[in-house]
Amino acid sequence: MSDIALGLEALARLLSADLMRVENPDSLVMGVAPLESAGPNHLSLARDLRQVKALRKTRALAVLISNPRLIEKSPCSVLQVEDLSKALSLAIAYFHPEPELAEGVMPGALVDEGVRMGLGCRVEPGARIEAGASMGDHCHVGANAVILACCKLGSRVRVGPGSVLGTPGFGLRREGERPVRIPQVGMVVIEDEVELGARCTVDRATLGATRIGAGSKLDAAVHVGHNVDIGRNVIIAAQSGLSGSVKIGDGAVLGGQVGVADHVVIGAGAQIGAGSGVGSRVAPGARVAGYPALPVERWLARSFFRSQKHPSAERDEEPRS
């Protein structure tokens, strides 16, 4: 519960919602909570009909919904919106604002003198940034993250705790039976507003640069190999791995635990189902799943006789909480 309070009508204005039902007109909303744990001053959220049971039992003061069939199932006040995720985001940001964090290099972080850092950056304890690296304004580097000398970060980049950027790519040749490293002297370029989750790894290029395009978001434990080129606004879920020289077009979405073989090209806007193994080109806008990855329709057909549902190619972008 926060110490911020708002009446239902003011809340409806804040969220651009229609107040479809009012049960307790004088009560104040003071926080956001899941249906199951909400109390009499909470706003809650019901996403679809599978949540009717929880909705009927909720003690919340009001619920956010999008589907009109949920209005009559609600035991409390109802705010209807078109974009549920956006309204939820606004409500959380209003009632549970994130604390302002001080700028600067926190105690226990080790940033070399030669690092160029823009305005308003924050480097958490235990993070290590080598001379030669650079970053723009308002970046956030998580605790115990490692950014090596060959990395150039844009502005408003977030690097999750424990992530490692700039290690040499895994390029090997054999000398007799011995595997020997090919020197890796390229860069890592992370553009504006990229966010990397916890424990990601991004390898530097052999020559040239490994690049992650502006606005792309990577979940935890994603591995990006050397010379990979990720476009803008790409979404990659947890534990996925991109082999050397993979190219991913703007706006593509990769589910969790996806693997992409080296040099494969994935077109703009393509959607790759969770757990897929992608060994060949994926056309722009295509939806594929499976190992090896198939068009979703064919993969579903194969899966049907096994009476299993498919992992959705598109990540459900928000929890029902």
Catalytic residues: 226
- Cβ 284 to a second copy shortest distance, Å: 14
Which listed residue (7, 25, 57, 89) binds a second copy by CB under 8 A?
89
Nearer to a second copy among residue 15 and residue 293 (C-beta): 293
- Cβ 289 to a second copy shortest distance, Å: 9
Which listed residue (20, 54, 71, 261) binds a second copy by CB under 8 A?
261
Interface characters, 16-55, with a second copy (x: CB under 8 A): ----------------xxx-xx------------------
Which listed residue (67, 128, 134, 284) binds a second copy by CB under 8 A?
128
Report the 3 state secondary structure along the chain: CCCCCEEHHHHHHHHCCEEEECCCCCCEECEECCCCCCCCCEEEECCCHHHHHHHHHCCCCEEEECCHHHCCCCCCEEEECCCHHHHHHHHHHHHCCCCCCCCEECCCCEECCCCEECCCCEECCCCEECECEEECCCCEECCCCEECCCEEECCCCEECCCCEEEECCCCEEEECCEEEECCCCCEEEECCCCEECCCCEEECCCCCEEEECCCCEECCCCEECCCCEECCCCEECCCCEECCCCEECCCCEECCCCEECCCCEECCCCEECCCCEECCCECCCCEEECCCCEEHHHHHHHHHCCCCCCCCCCCCCCCCC
Give the whole-angstrom CA distance, residue 275 versus residue 289.
8
Asked if residue 14 binds a second copy (CB under 8 A), the reply is: no
Asked if residue 65 binds a second copy (CB under 8 A), the reply is: no
Which listed residue (134, 161, 283, 284) binds a second copy by CB under 8 A?
161
Asked if residue 187 binds a second copy (CB under 8 A), the reply is: no
- Cβ 228 to a second copy shortest distance, Å: 9
- Cβ 190 to a second copy shortest distance, Å: 15
Which listed residue (142, 154, 213, 249) binds a second copy by CB under 8 A?
142
Which listed residue (118, 120, 126, 284) binds a second copy by CB under 8 A?
126
Asked if residue 116 binds a second copy (CB under 8 A), the reply is: no
Nearer to a second copy among residue 100 and residue 317 (C-beta): 317
The residues pairing with 218 across neighbouring beta strands, listed in sequence order, are 196, 236
Which listed residue (17, 245, 254, 271) binds a second copy by CB under 8 A?
245
- Cβ 135 to a second copy shortest distance, Å: 17
Asked if residue 72 binds a second copy (CB under 8 A), the reply is: no
